[in-house]
Amino acid sequence: MVKTVLKDVTRRDFVKATAVAFATAAAAGSLSTMVSCTQDGTSGGTGVSKTFTSVCRFCGCGCGVLCEVANGRLISVTGDPDNQSNKGLNCVKGYYLAKVLYGEDRLTKPLIRDEAATKGSGTGLREASWEEALDLVAEKLKATWKEDKSRLAFWASGQQPIVEGYLLSKFWKAGLLSNNIDPNARLCMASAVVAFMNVFQTDEPAGCYEDLDHADVFITWGANMAEAHPMLYSRLTARKLNDAKVKHFDLGTIKTRTSASADKVLLFKPGTDNAIANCIANYLVSEEKYDAPFVAAHCQFKAGTEDLGNAYEDGWDGTDKLQEATGNNGVWNIEFSEYAEMLSKYTFEYTAELSGCSVADLKQLAEVFADPNAKVMSLWTMGVNQHNRGTWMNHNIYNIHLLSGKIAQPGCGPFSLTGQPTACGTAREVGCFAHRLPADLVVNNPQHRRYTEVLWNLPEGYLGTGDDNPGISKPGKHTIKIFRDLSNGDIDFLWSAHNNWAGSLPNLTRFLGRNTTKTGIFDAFIVVNEVYPTLSTDYADVVLPAAMWIEREGQFGNAERRTAVFEKAVDPPGDAKWDAWIMLQVAQRVLEGETIGTEDSFDLLFGNIWDKEAGDFISDDQREISKIVWEEYRTFTNPDMVKAADDINNDVGDKFGVTADDGTYTPSKLKMFAKQMAPYDEYLDNHGLTWPVREVDGKWLSTKWRFAAGKQADGYDEVGITKYGQKDADGKLISKPGDIDLYKTAKFKASVVFRPYEPPAEEPDAQYPFWFCTGRLLEHWHTASMTGVIPELTRALPAALLDMHPDDCAKLGIADGDMVKVKSRHGEFEIKVSTAGRTEPAPGVVFAPFFDMNSLINLAVHDYYDPLSKEPDYKKTCVSIEKI
């Protein structure tokens, strides 16, 4: 496509338009009138243009934006004042969003690598036709699938729009009967997910962003919200400005820009956060300062397998200990008194000694939870999730909120932040995980498989019935397993989309086949869907150029369960295509001649949207295709739309429940309405809605506070509680407005599971004396494959720096600005040191961000992962530092 440059809008016009916008903002006190910068330094506001509603492409905040398009080109992006998440506010990434489409090296043609030896060299790819590229990909996938399907894998993403993720999940799980599909969300949210399922039997938080407007106390746990969640931190700060009594405790292993505005900073020794949370719990329990009526009504107590070890060896998942920990016997019921006994070790003195925090600070923090009137909001992301005991730390945060009854009320509750725009909406909600199916269903549950079979029109038992017919009844390979296997030569076909694994995975020295005998990456056939060249495309055998962001219609689901649509606003450049088109082209080829039952496999799965003879969608209108797919996906959470599915949902026919010794049968009810989704147009009309979305008097209404009794129109979970809530002997609901009802759990009780402190996978020694913590900074997002093409952001933050404590620098003879080599047991990289203090690590801790592919820090980061979530710990690799 020829790029059109707007000639009729001059720089002077832009200045004028901006100035006018500022003036309007000041004069009218408007909520958002700021014209953001444009992709080419010009602006619309004049001439013929059209505005589309959209969502920012980057982080998990999910800020609404408006996209102004003229002559087929995006000319400006402005914060959407009608989106209640951000009311028109953006961060600097969102401000320059228009430029993200127009980087110079957009991928516009399929590329093929003829010589595998050129992988990683920056050369070796040649242009190809779509026909040649698709035929090659399909041939390789089909060959691996027929030969040994344990040797293929898809690496999906928390940036893949919902419809695309759903189609992918269906193709992989039903079309290929493979569970070897896992998302990059494994690297960021898996620990949160496992804890959600363990504690509440449903994924994603009960609260919402609005809690930020009402809390009395904020606690950030290992989360640099000021940089990683800019808009939400602006909201948190506004709450503090509105009420001087509001306090913020920041807990972490480094001081960050978040610490800079906190009222109290508790720096703890890496990994000891589990002890700190248990210390708070111990105080509440031993001093009887917990919320006894709440605990009696809403909590059950459990303990689980301990002393789990770490994933030093590839076969670790299969050890007896791990099998027990992750199996049905990994958790058992205990009495409250036993829980109290288990906690008793975590006195203030013991915890202070272990963590390095003072007794006084720990007491002050514990008192927050002991105050029955304080509305407390805990917020966390990667410090808690990327943790060798990350699932446990998620548990421990829930434990203290449950003991104190501080949950699922406005301004009060634990809130798990996400890092990607649709980690919730896609990876988690449509099931692009090795163990999941759409809508919280899992592959190893017969009732869940049967429910899915019905909605996908599959014959009974097609997804597996047991050992004789495993189908997809056994979870596939998780992310680290996929890449460890790849490096060992045990994966022959790998496909990825919407991620940059060659930059974002840990232990890249191993996974990229550098300085190691594990060089499987050079032998496997690798396909990468991408929009710009990345380190991953440099290892790809085929690169498929994809439509980016608003070059197609898409849907994101953010951290507060908000689903929002971004409209297709412009065409993709050159031959770049919608990922859904790419995937179905391959699916049509791979499934050719295959049958499910007596039907053609491809037509059965995708015949409602794809015309096989034409080799294309049944319509050019992506809105129409998206709606068809959405309506199909929506049946998962609206079982009444398909009677056969509703029967399974309600266990009609007594097939999935439990029969007691006396012959009484307890049915197994799936409660699929608990995640109810609305019709597609509702999301467009309302600028996004938070699920469960309920139809009340002909209107579709969001739920802001799940499990909270109150009126649906006010954002409470009235419909859910009415349908599934706990009732007394007369059939009347027990909960009153202001109460909660944890109706998704089997006994209406959340699980408080005792989870102890266990040390990190590595600890500093003479050879590797520093903890190395990694993370994100405000200007760049993830591996900067998108933000890196925006010149303003690269100007703002051109390179990663290693933040060190000045005392550590003095000891090593390192000055601010010196280049150093950072070396771990796993690999090494070079980077410039900073003592300026953007982040201020404690002595013995160093920090660097992971966006800079010229300082590839993940070469040194270990790939040891949480035993329960399989999420790697990016925060605690031990390293040496040497001036070069």
Partner 1 sequence: MCLKAANDASGKAAGTPILDVREQACRLCEDFPCVNACPTDALRDIEKRTDVDMGLAVINTETCIAMHGMRCEVCYRVCPLIDKAITIDYRLREGDSIHSIFAPIIDEEACVGCGLCVERCVVSEPEVPIKIVRDRAQAIEETKRQQSGENAD
- Which residues make up the interface to partner 1 (CB under 8 A)? 11, 14-15, 18-19, 22, 25-26, 29-32, 34, 36-37, 41, 86-92, 94-96, 212-213, 230-231, 233-235, 237-242, 257, 260-261, 777-779, 792-793, 795-797, 815-817, 836-838
Tell me the HSE value of 520 on the side-chain side, using a 13 A CA sphere: 18
Distance CA 665, CA 785 (A): 55
Q: What are phi and psi of 400, to 5 degrees?
A: -70, -30
Structure tokens at 571: 């065409």
Q: How far is the CB of 832 from partner 1 (least distance, A)?
A: 10
- What is the nearest approach in angstroms of partner 1 to the Cβ of residue 246? 12
Sign of dihedral through CA atoms 205, 206, 211, 216? negative
Q: Is 221 exposed, middle or buried (0-12, 13-18, 19+ CB in 10 A)?
A: buried
**Cβ count within 10 A of residue 445:** 16
Q: Which is nearer to partner 1, 260 or 331 (CB)?
A: 260
Helix (H, G, I), strand (E, B) or coil at 637: coil
Q: How far is the CB of 811 from partner 1 (least distance, A)?
A: 15
The label of the residue with tokens 């914060």 reads 79
Tokens of 492: 């022959």
The residue (of 85 and 858) whose beta carbon lies closer to partner 1 is 85
Helix (H) / strand (E) containing 690: strand 689-690
Give the span between the Cα atoms of 34 and 776, in whole angstroms.
26
For residues 390 and 122, the answer to whether their CB atoms sit within 8 Å is no
**The amino acid at 532:** Y
Nearest to 60 by CA among 588, 512, 387, 417: 417
Give CA angle at 367 (261, 410), nearest 5°.
70
| DSSP letter assigned to residue 224 | -
- Sheet strands side by side (includes 562-566): 554-557, 562-566, 689-690
Residue 93 CB, nearest distance to partner 1 (Å)?
A: 9
- In the complex, minimum distance from the CB of residue 265 to partner 1, in angstroms, rounded to a whole number: 13
> With helix as H, strand as E and coil as C, how does 308-356 read?
CCCCCCCCHHHCHHHHHHHCCCCEEECCHHHHHHHHCCCCHHHHHHHHC
Return the number of the residue (231 or 820) whose C-beta is nearest partner 1. Answer: 231
Q: Which helix (H) or strand (E) holds 392?
A: helix 390-403
Residue at token pair 């909120």 = 401
CA nearest to 35, candidates 91, 78, 68: 78
CB of 239 to partner 1, least distance (A): 8
Residue with tokens 């599915």: 645
Q: Which residues are catalytic?
A: 93, 188-189, 382, 419-420
Q: How far is the CB of 199 from partner 1 (least distance, A)?
A: 29
CB 226, min distance to partner 1, A: 8
CB of 345 to partner 1, least distance (A): 39
Backbone angles phi, psi at 483, to 5 degrees: -80, -30
- Which of 22/312 has CB closer to partner 1? 22
Minimal distance, residue 10 CB to partner 1, in Å? 11
- 814: amino acid identity, one letter: I
The residue with tokens 């070897």 is: 180
- Largest CA-CA distance found in the chain, in angstroms, rounded: 84
Beta bridge partners of 701: 694
Among candidates 762, 780, 759, 726, which has minimal Cα distance to 860? 762
Residue 773 φ then ψ, to 5°: -110, 135
Our CB check for partner 1 shows the closer of 16 and 149 to be 16
Question: Nearest 5°: phi and psi at 173?
Answer: -80, -45
323 token code pair: 């099998």
**Helices 273-286 and 359-370 meet at what angle, rounded to 10?**
60
Residue 848 CB, shortest distance to partner 1, in Å, is 15
Work out how close the CB of 372 gets to partner 1 at its nearest, in angstroms, rounded to a whole number.
26
Distance (Å, whole) CA 562 – CA 689: 5
DSSP-assigned letters across all residues of 806-860: HHHHHHHT--TT-EEEEEESS-EEEEEEE-S-SSEEPTTEEEEES--TTS-GGGT
As measured in angstroms, the least distance from the Cβ of 47 to partner 1 is 19
- Which residues sit opposite 355 in a β-bridge? none
CA separation for the pair 51, 773 (Å, rounded): 42
